[in-house]
Amino acid sequence: MSFVLVQVIVGGLLLGAVYALFSSGLTLVWGMMNIVNFAHGDFVMLGMYVAYVVYTLMGGGPLLGAPLATLVLATLGIVVYFGLIRGIMKGPMLAQILGTFGLALLLRYSVFWWFGANFLSMPPNIVGGTYAFAGLRIEASRLLAGVVALLVTLGLHLLLTRTSLGSKMLAVAEDQTAAQLMGIRPDTMQAIAWAIAAGATGLAGALIANFFYIVPTVGETLGIVAFVTVSLGGFGSVPGALVAGLLIGVIESLSGYLIGAIYKDIVVYVLFLFFLWFRPQGLMGKM
C-alpha cells in the first residue's frame, strides 16, 4: 500500500515537472508583454508532431527530435511575433485574444489537413523502457521529461535573473520607453522572449510525445493544464510555474488514486479557487 502511494507521488512529480515546462513559455510571454497565448497548447502539439516526424522519417530518436522541435518552434515563435503579435499588441484586448485563438485553430487544422485525424504514437525507442527498483516503476521517457523539464525551467529562471539578456528582457517588460532610452530594442527582446517561450514549449511537446498519444486536438487537453498552472503559479513567474506544476501533478495523482479520477479535477480546482481567494496574484506572482 505505501509502495503504491510512493509510486503515485513519484508519478505525480514527474508529470508535474512536465506541466511546469510547458507552462513556463506561457508565463514568460505574459510576463513580458501581457499577452495570453491561446495557441499555447497547439505549440505543444506541434512539438509532438515534429518529434514524431523526425523519428519516423529521419530515423532520429528523441535525442535528435527534442532539439529539433525546440529549434523549429523557436523559429515559429519569432515568425508569430513579427507576423501577428507585434500587430495585435497595438489593438484592443479582444483583438489579442481572438488573434492567438485564431492562430490556435489555424495550427490545429493545418495539422489535421496534413496528418489526418488519426491518433499516432511514438514507435518504441531508446527511452521506451521502464526502470524498476525497490518496487517502484519509472518510465525512462517520463524520467527524461521530468529531469529535462526541471533543468530547463531552472535555466530559464537563471537566464531571466542572472544574465544581461534577462535584465534587458525584464527592463522591456517593466517600461518599454525607459528601456528604449537605455539603448535596448523592445522588438528584439520581445522576439527573443517568443523564441524562448515557443522553443521551451516545443521541447515539452517532444518529450511528452514519448509517453502520450499524438493527435491534432491534443493541445485542447494540455492547454487547459498550462493555464491553470500559470494562474496558480502567478502570471509571469517562471519559478511559480515550476512549483505550481509540481503541486498540480501530485494533487492530481493523489486525489485520482485515493478518491477516484472522476473527482480529481474537482479537488484540483476547488483548491485552486480557494487559493486564489487568499492570493489572487498566484503563488509567486506580483500584484
Partner 1 sequence: MTLKRVTGLLCAAAMSLALTAGAQAQDKVVKIGVIMPMSGGTASIGAHAKAALDVATDIINNAHPELGNFPLAKNAGLAGLGGAKVEVIIADNQGNPATGQNQALRLITEEKVAAVFGSYQSGVTLTSSAIAEKYGVPFLNSESVAANLTERGFKWFFRTTPIATDFAKIYVDFLADLKSQGAKTDSVAVVHDNTEYGTSVANTISGAFKEKGLPIALDVAYPVNATDLQGQVLQLKDKKPDVVIMISYTSDAILFAKTMQSLDYKPAVLLADDAGYSDPSFTKAVGKISQGVFNRSSWVVGPAGSPSAIIADMYKKKSGEEMDDTVARQMQGFFVLADAIDRAGSTEPAKIQAALKATDLKPEQLMIGYKGVKFDDKGQNTLASGAIIQLQDGENYVSVWPKANAAKAPMLPYKGW
Q: Which residues bind to partner 1, rule: CB under 8 A?
A: 1, 4, 7-8, 11-12, 15, 109, 112, 116-121, 130, 132, 137, 139, 142, 211-213, 215-217, 220-222, 225, 252-254, 256-257, 260-262, 264-265
Q: Which is nearer to partner 1, 75 or 221 (CB)?
A: 221
Q: Which is nearer to partner 1, 187 or 220 (CB)?
A: 220
Place of cell 495539422: 111
**Minimum CB–partner distance for residue 154 and partner 1 (Å):** 23
Q: Which is nearer to partner 1, 38 or 211 (CB)?
A: 211
**Minimum CB–partner distance for residue 212 and partner 1 (Å):** 7
Which candidate, 30, 89, 74, places its Cα nearest to that of 226?
30
Number of residues assigned to the chain: 287
**Minimum CB–partner distance for residue 116 and partner 1 (Å):** 6
CA-based R_g, the chain, Å: 19
Torsion-angle region of 134 (φ positive above 0: left; ψ -120 to 50: alpha; else: beta): left
Which set of grid coordinates corresponds to residue 202? 516545443
Q: Which is nearer to partner 1, 28 or 225 (CB)?
A: 225
**Minimum CB–partner distance for residue 109 and partner 1 (Å):** 8
User: How far apart, in Å, are the Cα atoms of 217 and each of 42, 80, 108, 112, 127?
Assistant: 8, 20, 7, 9, 25
Q: Which is nearer to partner 1, 1 or 181 (CB)?
A: 1
**Minimum CB–partner distance for residue 227 and partner 1 (Å):** 13
Place of cell 530559464: 156
By the 8 A CB rule, do 169 and 185 touch? no
Residue type, 102: G
Q: Which is nearer to partner 1, 76 or 218 (CB)?
A: 218
**Minimum CB–partner distance for residue 121 and partner 1 (Å):** 3
Place of cell 485574444: 97
User: How many angstroms separate the CA atoms of 266 and 271, rounded?
Assistant: 8
